[in-house]
């Protein structure tokens, strides 16, 4: 059998192989997570108010992440002259939280269990939604582990308190977060246009510690200006609703809103945030592949996540 390609390893083109996140190892046993980063899917979408389908977000983002599986020795970025996510950064995919149809409470509880498992293992938890309501159990899992500040990229404020009895839909997570003792503040970027949050919601958000900036306001401030508004020393939990981006690059989502961020605008904020702050948790939500016929949205999600992880561990290495 000598002479064929396996002797020296596999070429492992992106279209080849099982779709775990970044083609990293799958760990089924949540008590045996041993890695710097752990990635979990949270395929829950009963919290959506327009188009569903975010339940297939984790599969789509995992598939898309294989496009960036070149370069086992890390990814070289010529602009930064840096190699990101080299072999010194270990990452595992722990699969999905169990979702129970018709049952929001159980589904959310299972997501929380997963995040706790990742945190207990000392791994940086990365959760791929699912709709934005999955952020609620993610934030709950951080209780008792020190204060966190939330950095949100989103079109919508998601600050509805309770309406028709609904407290855990995708319009509520930031309100639920702000209510937690361990959440010290929120920086909400990209907020624009009509949403399910009313004027009262905006007022309440500001009263509860939110700094709300539209896309145009972020552009006017610049990266440094935005970063300056995040409290120094804050431990960041970053939540990225893909609809924070412009529908031109993120059409595959349930409630798109025109006028969103372009790619580098978010990337540069994330890079700067990763340099200036400890990032303790990440979720990326609302990728709905049924509306993403070209795959651009899932590719964006994978590209943003992998870059953000690269920035975080590069900053640690340098520091």
By CB under 8 A, the residues from 42 to 101 that bind a second copy are 43, 45-53, 55-56, 59, 62-63, 66-68, 70-71, 73, 75-79, 83, 93, 95-101
User: Applying CB under 8 A, does 13 fall inside the site for a second copy?
Assistant: yes
CB-nearer residue toward a second copy: 98 or 233: 98
27 φ, ψ to 5°? -115, 110
- 16 to 12, 41, 152, 284, 304: CA distances (angstroms): 6, 21, 34, 25, 22
Residues with Cβ within 8 Å of residue 107, at least 6 apart in sequence:
44, 46, 97, 98, 99, 100
Applying the rule CB under 8 A, the residues between 201 and 230 that interact with a second copy are 202, 212, 214, 216-217
293 is annotated as contributing to ligand binding: no
Applying the rule CB under 8 A, the residues between 136 and 175 that interact with a second copy are 157, 163-166, 168-170
Query: In angstroms, what is the minimal distance from the CB of 288 to a second copy?
Result: 9
Pairing of strands 37-42, 278-285: unpaired
- 129: closest CA among 253, 310, 27, 20? 253
User: Out of 36, 263, 272, 315, which residue is the one contacting a second copy (CB under 8 A)?
Assistant: 263
203 is annotated as contributing to ligand binding: no
User: Applying CB under 8 A, does 252 fall inside the site for a second copy?
Assistant: yes
4 is annotated as contributing to ligand binding: no
User: Out of 143, 249, 276, 278, which residue is the one contacting a second copy (CB under 8 A)?
Assistant: 249
Tell me: cis bond preceding 130? Omega within 30 of 0 counts. Answer: yes
What CA–CA distance (Å, rounded) separates 104 from 74? 39
Label residues 116-137 b or e (16+ Cβ within 10 Å = b). Answer: bbbbebebbbbbbbbbbbbbbb
CB-nearer residue toward a second copy: 166 or 276: 166
CB 172 within 8 A of CB 161: yes
CB-nearer residue toward a second copy: 34 or 216: 216
Binding residues: 132, 154, 156, 158, 241, 243
Residues that constitute the known binding site for Mn(2+) = 132, 154, 156, 158, 241, 243
């Amino acid at each position: 059998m000598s002479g064929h390609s396996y002797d020296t390893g596999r070429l492992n083109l992106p279209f080849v192989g099982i779709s775990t996140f970044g083609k990293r190892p799958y760990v089924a046993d949540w008590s045996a997570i041993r890695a710097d980063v752990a990635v979990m899917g949270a395929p829950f979408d009963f919290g959506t108010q327009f188009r569903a389908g975010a339940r297939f977000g984790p599969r789509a983002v995992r598939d898309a992440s294989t496009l960036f599986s070149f370069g086992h020795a890390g990814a070289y970025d010529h602009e930064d002259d840096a190699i990101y996510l080299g072999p010194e950064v270990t990452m595992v995919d722990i699969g999905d939280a169990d979702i129970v149809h018709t049952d929001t409470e159980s589904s959310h509880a299972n997501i929380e269990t997963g995040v706790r498992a990742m945190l207990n293992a000392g791994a940086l938890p990365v959760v791929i939604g699912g709709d934005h309501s999955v952020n609620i159990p993610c934030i709950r899992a951080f209780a008792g582990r020190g204060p966190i500040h939330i950095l949100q990229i989103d079109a919508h404020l998601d600050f509805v308190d309770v309406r028709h009895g609904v407290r855990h839909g995708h319009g509520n997570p930031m309100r639920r977060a702000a209510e937690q003792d361990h959440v010290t503040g929120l920086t909400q970027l990209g907020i624009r246009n009509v949403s399910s949050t009313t004027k009262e919601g905006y007022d309440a958000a500001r009263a509860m510690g939110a700094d709300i900036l539209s896309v145009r306001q972020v552009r006017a401030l610049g990266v440094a200006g935005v970063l300056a508004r995040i409290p120094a020393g804050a431990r960041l939990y970053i939540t990225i609703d893909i609809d924070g981006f412009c529908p031109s690059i993120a059409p595959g989502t349930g409630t798109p809103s025109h006028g969103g961020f372009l790619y580098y605008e978010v990337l540069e904020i994330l890079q700067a945030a990763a340099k200036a702050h400890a990032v303790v948790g990440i979720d990326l939500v609302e990728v709905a592949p049924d509306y993403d016929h070209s795959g651009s949205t899932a590719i964006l999600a994978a590209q943003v996540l992998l870059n953000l992880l690269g920035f975080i561990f590069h900053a640690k290495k340098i520091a």
